[in-house]
Amino acid sequence: MKQKITTIIIICITTLGFSQGQSVEEIFCKIIETDTKYPVPYATIQFKNNGKGVVTNVDGDFRIPYQFKRLKDTLIISCLGFETKTIPAVTLLDYKTNIITLKPKIELLNQVVLKGKTKATKELEAYGLVKKAIANIPFNYPKENHSSIGYYRDYQMVNGQYYNLNEAIIESFDAGFDTDIMMDDYNDSALLSYKENNDFPRDSTLLVAYDGSSKYIKNTTLSGQGGNELGILNVHNPIRNFEQLSFSFVYVFKEKFLENHIFKIYRKVYLNDTVIYEIRFDAKSFLGGSSHLASGKIFVAKDNFAIHKLEYQVLEVNNANPLFEVEIEYKPKGDLMYLNYITFNNRFVVSDQFVFDTESVDFNIYEQAFYVKFNNELDTTSVDRKDFKFKYEKRKLLVEDVEIIDGRTVKVAIADWSLPKKVDENTDMAKFDFRIKNILDITKRKVSKSPKIMASQYREFFAQDIFEDKQKSNNLEFILRYKPLSESKVNDLEIAKTYWMNTPLKSNQL
C-alpha cells in the first residue's frame, strides 16, 4: 500500500487522571471439573431463599449481584452428570474470580447395565426410551399459562472473541405446549431491559443481513419463520415445538425424530438423585447425502421419561466446525419441566467487500509524529513499529516508537535525526509517502486485504425465574415479532432491577 500524506495538523492533548473508591457490585465465579479442571458449561446456580438463578456461560463462568452475599443466601449448583453442591454466598471472595469445583456423577452402561447385550438390543432399548419420551411430552411439560424471566443475548463469535454483544432481560409468556409458539396471540415476550454492550468489540460488517453473496451460510439457508432474533431462537426448540416444523433432520420432532436417527444408550448421569439416560444418536446417512452429517445427545429421565436435555449439531463432511448447533435444557419445577436455557448458533461467511485500510495519515510537525487513523477498530496486539514505513523524498525515516491513541488511531513517532531539517510548517506533504503492513483489525483482517471471515451467530436465553400459572399483563409493551429487539420498547418496571445480565467474563477478569 502506498499513499500520499496530504495534511499537516497541530494537536494539543491534555490528559486528566483521577481515582475513586469502587464498591463491589458483583461477585465473579467459575465452575470447573474436580479432576480435569475443564470448565463446566451451562451449570445451573439457584438461590435457596428466593428461587432466582443463573446458568454458567460456555466457559463455566457466571456473575451474581452482591446483594445475595449481603443477604447471606446460599447457592445451589447443579448440572447433569455432576454432584449437586451448596455454597454459602458469604464464603465467596470479592475482587477476584471464585473457582468452584464439581465432581462428576456418571455410570457407564456398557459396563454395568447392558453387559452381554447385543448392539441391536442396545439400539432397540435406546429407541424405546426416546419413543416413550416423545409420547410423554404432553404430560411432562406445561399446558397452562406460565412465564419465565431470563437473560437473553445475541452476538457473533470470531476466533473465540465476542462481537456485537446485545443483552436483555426478557419475560416470555407461554400458553402451553399445545399452542403454537409463534402464531398463538397469547405467546408474547416483553423487554425488561436492553443494551448494546460496548465493552466488547462491535463490527458492523458482521451485522449485515444474509444476502447469499457478501454474507451467507454455506450450502443452506436460515428459515425466516421465526421473525426477529428471539423468534428465530424459539423456533429452533423442537421439544417446545414438538408438533411443528423445526430444523433439518429433526423436522417435526413428534413425527420424524425417531424415523431419521439411530440411537445408542451411552451412560447414566444424575441430577441430584434422579437417574437420567444419556442417549447418543446419529442421523441416518441418506438424510445428509454426501455433504452433511448430524449427531447429538438426548437425556431422558428413567422414572417419567421426561426429556431433560437435547444437543444437536449438523456438520459438513470433512469440516469439524458445526454448520449449526442447538442445545436445550429443561428443569423440573413441581411435577412439570420448564425451560432452563436454549442456545442456538449457526456458522456463516462474510465475503468481505469491506477493505480494512487507513482512513487518514496526518503529520504533526511539533511532535515529529504521524497520526495514522484506520477505518475499523484495531487488534492492538498486532501493532508493531517495524510495520510502519515512512519516506521523505525517497529518504527513509526511522520509526522510533508507536503508541495506541484510541481504538482506531496510532501515533508513530519519527526519530529526530532522521527527519530532514528543512521539514517545517510550509513543507509540501506530497513529498511524504508511507507503507503499512501486517496490522490487523478486530476481526483479524489484514490491512489492505479483503478476506473471507468465518464467524458464528449466537442467540441464547437463560431462565432466571419461572412463574407457574402466571397470566399475561395488559399493561406491558410486547416485543415486535418481526422487528429487531432494539426497536421494541423497554418496560420500565421495578421488578426488572431484581434480575441481572450474566455478561461473559473478559479474560482480564479471570
How many helices (H) and strands (E) the chain has is answered by: 6, 28
Question: Residue ranges per domain, the chain?
Answer: 26-104, 107-351+452-509, 355-436
Q: Is 334 left (phi over 0), alpha (psi -120 to 50) or beta?
A: left
- Cα distances from 189 to residues 55, 382, 461, 489, in angstroms, run 20, 43, 12, 11
DSSP letter at 445 equals P
- 8 Å CB contact between 309 and 297: yes
Q: Please give the pLDDT value at position 1.
A: 46
For residues 371 and 364, give the distance between their C-alpha atoms in angstroms, rounded to a whole number. Answer: 8
Residue 60: other Cβ atoms inside 10 A: 22
Determine the topology of domain 355-436 in CATH: Immunoglobulin-like (2.60.40)
Q: How far is CA 28 from CA 143, 259, 384, 426, in A?
A: 37, 45, 34, 57
Q: Cα(434)–Cα(477) distance, rounded to whole angstroms?
A: 55
Name the residue among 341, 344, 31 with its Cα closest to residue 157: 344
- pLDDT value at residue 23: 61
Secondary-structure class of domain 26-104 per CATH: mainly beta
- Report, as ranges of residue numbers, the positions in the chain whose pLDDT lies below 50: 1-21, 111-114, 508-510
pLDDT tens string 202-258: 888 788 777 666 777 776 666 556 689 999 999 999 999 999 999 989 999 999 999
d(CA 328, CA 199): 28
Q: Do domains 26-104 and 355-436 have the same CATH topology?
A: yes
The per-residue pLDDT for range 365-401, each reduced to its tens digit, is 888 899 999 998 999 999 999 999 998 888 899 999 9
pLDDT the model gives residue 423: 76
Residue 489 is classified by DSSP as P
pLDDT at 9: 34
Using alpha carbons, list the distances in angstroms from residue 325 to 114, 178, 201, 247, 318: 30, 25, 24, 10, 17
The structure's pTM equals 0.79
Closest CA to 167 of 502, 505, 506, 507: 502
Q: Are 466 and 174 in contact (CB under 8 A)?
A: no
Phi-psi region of 375 (alpha: psi -120 to 50; beta: other; left: phi over 0): alpha
Alpha carbon distance 157, 322 (integer Å): 13
Contact 151, 135 (CB under 8 A): no
Question: Radius of gyration (Cα) for the chain, nearest Å?
Answer: 27
Neighbouring-strand partners of residue 327: 311, 343
Residues belonging to the chain: 510
Grid cell for residue 57 = 456461560
Pairing of strands 85-88, 53-55: unpaired
Which 3 state secondary structure label does DSSP give 11?
A: coil
β-strand pairing of 336-351 with 215-216: antiparallel
Q: What is the pLDDT of residue 291?
A: 84
Task: Determine the Cα angle at 381 with ends 376 and 385, to 5°.
Answer: 90
Nearest to 262 by CA among 244, 249, 243, 275: 249
Cβ atoms of residues 100 and 91 within 8 Å: no
| Residue 40 backbone dihedrals phi, psi, to 5 degrees | -105, 100
DSSP 446: B
Kindly state the greatest CA–CA separation across the chain: 92
